[in-house]
Structure 1
Amino acid sequence: MTEESDEFDVVVLGAGAVGENVADRASRTGLSVAVVEHALVGGECSYWACMPSKALLRPGDARAAARAVPGIGAVGQLDVAAVLARRDEVAAHWDDAGQVAWVEGAGLTLLRGRARFTGPRALAVEAADGTVRAVTARRAVVVATGSVAVVPEVFAGVRAWTSRESTSAHRVPARLAVVGGGVVATELATAFSDLGSEVTVLVRGDRLLASAEPFAGEAVARGLAAAGVRVAFGASVTSASRDDDGVHLVVEQRPVSGQGGQGETGVALPGRLTVDEVLVATGRRPATDDLGLEVLGLRPGDALEVDDRLQVQGVGGGWLFAAGDVTGRTATTHQGKYDARVVGDVLAARFDPRPAAEAADGAVPHGLSRQGEADAAPWSRYRATADSSAVPQVVFTRPQVAWVGPTAQGARDGGTAVEVYAYELGDLAAASVTAADYAGRAQIVVDTSRDVVVGATFVGPDVADMLHAATVAVVGEVPLSRLWHAVPSYPTLSEVWLRLLEAAGR
């Protein structure tokens, strides 16, 4: 039964990092904005993904860094209880009071409940107590409901872990199977190995991190093997069951070849594997199943196709937008927040409620009309251009992997003629200061027609902080001749830029 009714200029579905940023930016010209959330305000990243996973990984990273430097002395085992306690603090003990205070302090309205479309710009928000509130958006609705883990049917009934259960676990299983070979799989395999689990990674393909340069996956495979993690390539789980002895997996394994495959770092498994827990990290899908999209002519469960303004295609009137994982464009928090800034700024300007004279007094950002139509510049702040050309990614394994833009093969497949230049980070002077046996690699992909960097990959300890310089070079389309004049400090790992330019003949 509907008991309450409300109207807002903008309604944002989802109060994760993406939704919060949309709402904040959209409200900056005076629009009234409501945010609807049925779970914890702050979303997946704060409680079950980015933050708790990095809290689990950081102690092992610090221990490895200390062990690599002569003179520090013995570095012992991790204090598991202390690591988990610190993780709990980072995840705010799964209490969103702090995030709620931020939302309210920003002048936004928080609506607790599940939202479903009942028509254009019309929603029903059902609270936990069954109360239903009719909510109308006068101007726009933004869907920022994120994504959910995909758990294959074979794992039904075994209470498999996903990223949620693993990042919030309060015990460390003695034996853990990780199914998958991507970012979540490799990071959590690293974290639980650090904490003392006997970890086996089951990879359907023949390498890890399939979307990265091949040498990156090879380095991570070697790092996992060195840590005692068993990595099985070409492995598929055909059945799974659970009893008092654990989770029993029947595994089929096909032969694989090539670098990074079974012949180099992988292991051959028996047909049956018994573990205490199985973590399924085989992908995610947009969380659009239960939003009532059918009343808008859209199919529930599908990604919402958007243009570079993040306006949903196939819905008339220009009122429906989406940002983050739900669009299927990107799948990282930082890129989702980028999309959120774009759509929030578009809404703030397009539906600016202030009188024209007041809005013209510097309040509407340069390059955007009062109708919210961006200028023709390819890198207008009102277009999510980076989603197609400059997406950065960091994997906090050991070694770390960081990249931006396409791989060399991806660029060629897209029709760009490129040259590739690489340098071993261990040959830099800074490497000998950082660790006695520092190993890593940097590579840039150069568009030969424009003489600009379109992609870059770094592999090695602590390379995550090197990525933004490459991202700036890619987004700025800086010619190599100009990069030559960006002098790297000595002795730092950033000196690799000089070596890469020298390899390119500059």
Structure 2
Amino acid sequence: MNETYDVVVIGAGPAGENAGDRAVKAGLRVAIVEKELVGGECSYWGCMPSKALLRPGEALAALRRVPGARAAITGEIDVDEALARRDSLSAGLDDSGQVEWVDSAGMDLVRGHGRLAGERTVEVTAEDGSVRTLVAEKGVIIGVGTGAAVPPIDGLREIRSWTNRDVTQAKEVPARLIVLGGGVIGVEMAQAMRWLGSEEVTIVEMADRLIPREEDFAGAELQDALEEMGITVITGARMVKAERAADDAPVTATLEDGRTVTGDEILVAVGRRPLTDDLGLDTVGLEPGRYVEVDDNLRATGVDGGWLYVVGDANGRALLTHQGKYQARIAGDHIGGKDVGRGAWADHTAVPRVVFTDPQIAAVGMTEAEARERYDNVDTVRYDMGHTAGAATTGQGISGTSQLVIDADRRVIVGATFVGPHVGEMLHAATIAIVGEVPLDRLWHAVPAYPTMSEIWLRFLEAYGM
């Protein structure tokens, strides 16, 4: 017998949970389907455990910049305690706390693999093979996220390798680690493992710089910092082969130019792929295995009736937890009849993103190159974070280029990048300025407190000639 709900959500990660919660608050009856752990990738294999692994080294680096405090450092990181804290922040891979929240929010949790079986219909296959059919009277929301992409490199799929799930839940720190990919996951985990005791860490990046989607200077300054702490960074290099003599033997990676790199583990961090290949998209006229295109209310385009919504990573707009939750709030409101007329536009123009390395790289909106493609007149202004009074009081040796990208015709900020310790906490000011389209002449009257690193906002405006 079919079970009828107003809304069926496939995927109980952050995006799915938030979409379902908003629909419940709109008075709808919601079922949420999850085949793995309630809470999703971010809680157990992404955001939370990765930051827990980075934090001990980041804290030590901060202390070493402070005269007087650095003398108090007398030992090394307690790796066992660091891993235990990681386990605590990722709940020991136990989702019972998240399940309690789902129950308290008023959603019905259905365990199993959910896939579409035609219009407004979801079949859920449980571990024991039994199948439940859920019918959604108002709509289905997909929030299944992404998984690690594995490139077609000779031998790579045949040998034991790590993805983000393996490295964030590692029980031991490898003596030698090869990191394939210099994006966010790659650089964060390279630094975390080095801080935690890896003797050799090598990053291999095909592009000519690290974090290639951000400003050039950000990748260059991060590379300098990683190399200073003993990490080898190889850019502009393509890996063509990976092999192990046995499953427990070292891995040898061969580069296109003939160079080889040897490690005990290899982390594959080249990107993500949508988990839409076994979702039944073909039953509603969509192509499996691809990101699902959506409109600004997060409804799948190409599906008649406007009943199918896709939130978070699976729509490919912005593969970030906070953006997925933002989309989820809009989709949940929309399916609940609360059409506030705003749609999801911030994920086109004001996406905040942070690389939690030391130095951190925090950015929002457009890079300079992206802005020059869109606007006729673009200005940039740069300032070194180390030249603020706040940096001087925080510690010695603090530096990092920061930049604003300005649409000169409107005199508003369209992009911002900050490099330096803890600059992720400064990012929301730039996000508000971009979303609010605050004119520079008005921003001049937003006075930063002294002595803080936020003083850089005044220095930006002064350097711009105001």
- Is 1:250 the equivalent of 2:271? no
Give the counterpart of 1:38 among 27, 35, 39: 35
Q: How far 1:416 moved relative to its partner? A: 4.2
- Between 1:240-249 and 1:282-291, the stretch displaced more is 240-249
Q: Specify the alignment match of 2:328 in structure 1.
A: 340
Task: Tell me the SS of whatever aligns to 2:117.
Answer: strand
In structure 2, C-alpha distance between the alignment counterparts of 1:331 and 1:83, rounded to whole Å: 27
User: Which residue of structure 2 lines up, in the alignment, with residue 407 of structure 1?
Assistant: 367
1:12-51 aligned within 5 A: 12-51=9-48
Is the 2:9–2:31 Cα contact (8 Å) retained in structure 1?
yes
- Between the aligned partners of 1:384 and 1:496, the Cα distance in structure 2 is 30
Does the Cα contact within 8 Å between 2:26 and 2:333 map onto a contact in 1? no
Paired residue for 1:324? 312
**What residue number does 1:362 align with?**
none
Tell whether the 8 Å contact from 1:423 to 1:442 is kept in structure 2 after alignment.
Answer: yes
Per-residue deviation, 1:210: 0.8
- Cα deviation, 1:348-375, whole Å, max 9, x if unaligned, reads 22xxxxxxxxxxxxxxxxxx5xxx3x44
Task: For 2:117 and 2:249, locate their aligned partners in 1 and report how far apart those are by CA, in whole Å.
Answer: 48
- Of residues 449-458 and 412-421 in structure 1, the stretch that sits farther from structure 2 once superposed is 412-421
1:149 maps onto 2:148 in alignment: yes
1:65 matched to 2:62? The reply is yes
TM-score by length of 2: 0.97
Separation (CA, whole Å) in 1 of partners of 2:380 and 2:359: 21
Q: CA deviation at 1:471?
A: 0.2
Instruction: State the match for 2:193 in structure 1.
Output: 192
For the Cα contact (< 8 Å) 2:382–2:402, is it kept in 1? yes
Q: CA deviation at 1:230?
A: 0.2
- Equivalent residue, structure 1, for 2:266: 278
Q: What does 1:413-424 correspond to in 2, within 5 Å? A: 413-424=373-384
State the SS of the aligned residue for 1:142.
Answer: strand
Distance apart, 1:417 and its partner CA:
1.9
Conserved 8 A contact 1:53-1:167: yes
* Deviations 1:43-70 (CA, angstroms, capped at 9, x unpaired): 0000000000000000100000001100
CA contact (8 A) 1:179 1:201 kept: yes
Contact 1:117–1:123 (CA under 8 A) maintained in structure 2: yes
One-letter code aligned to 2:58: D
Tell me whether 1:388 sits opposite 2:392 in the alignment.
Answer: no
In 1, distance between residues paired with 2:32 and 2:376? Answer: 42
How far apart are residue 438 of structure 1 and its match? 1.1
- Select the residue among 422, 426, 432 that pairs with 1:462: 422
Whether the 8 Å CA contact 2:360–2:421 is kept in 1: the answer is: yes
Q: Match for 2:34: what amino acid? A: E
Counterpart of 1:262? none
Task: Tell me by how many angstroms 1:415 deviates.
Answer: 3.4
Structural mapping, 1:409-488, within 5 Å: 409-488=369-448
Matched-pair contact (CA < 8 Å) for 2:161–2:265:
yes
| Pairing 1:68-467 to 2, within 5 Å after superposition | 68-72=65-69, 73-75=71-73, 76-154=75-153, 155-197=156-198, 198-242=200-244, 243=246, 244-253=248-257, 271-349=259-337, 372=339, 374-375=340-341, 380=342, 383-467=343-427
Instruction: Output the TM-score relative to the length of structure 1.
Output: 0.89
Which stretch has the larger CA shift, 54-63 or 410-419?
A: 410-419
Contact 1:67 1:74 in 2 (8 A): no
Secondary structure of residue in 2 paired with 1:20? helix
2: distance between equivalents of 1:272 and 1:420? 41
1:209 counterpart letter in structure 2:
I
- Counterpart-to-counterpart distance in 2, 1:443 and 1:70: 29
* Cα distance in 2 between the residues matched to 1:248 and 1:437: 37
Contact preservation (8 Å) 2:375, 2:407? no
| Cα shift at 1:278 | 0.2
C-alpha contact 2:3 2:135 (8 A) present in aligned 1: yes
- Cα deviation for residue 159 of structure 1 reads 1.6
Q: Partners of 2:26 and 2:115 in 1: how far apart?
A: 27
Question: Which residue of 2 is the match for residue 501 of structure 1?
Answer: 461
Q: RMSD between aligned alpha carbons?
A: 1.1
The Cα offsets for residues 216-243 of structure 1, whole Å up to 9 and x where unpaired, read as: 0011101100110000112222111122
CA distance in 2, matches of 1:113, 1:296: 21
Matched, 1:5 2:2: yes
Letter of the structure 1 residue corresponding to residue 201 of structure 2: V
For 1:389, give the aligned amino acid.
T
Out of 52, 55, 60, the position equivalent to 1:55 is: 52
Find the residue that maps to 1:130 and give its secondary structure: coil
Any idea what the Cα deviations from partners look like across 1:54-93, whole Å, max 9, x if unmatched?
A: 0000010000000110001142311111100110000000
Q: Structure 1 residue 252: deviation in Å?
A: 2.1
SS of aligned partner of 1:481? helix
Q: What is the distance in 1 between the residues matched to 2:384 and 2:133? A: 60
In 2, Cα distance between the equivalents of 1:417 and 1:95?
Answer: 52
Paired residue secondary structure (1:235): coil
Find the residue that maps to 1:119 and give its secondary structure. coil
For the 8 Å contact 1:179–1:282, the answer to whether it is kept is: yes
Q: Match for residue 256 of structure 1?
A: none
- Per-residue deviation, residues 211-269 of structure 1 (Å, max 9, x unmatched): 1111100111011001100001122221111224311211224xxxxxxxxxxxxxxxx
**Partners of 2:412 and 2:438 within 8 A in 1:** yes
Cα shift at 1:423: 0.8
Paired residues in the alignment total 459
Aligned counterparts of 2:376 and 2:169: Cα–Cα separation in 1: 43
Counterpart in 2 of 1:363? none
Q: Is the 8 A contact 1:52 1:87 kept in 2?
A: yes
Please state how far the C-alpha of 1:271 moved relative to its aligned partner: 1.9
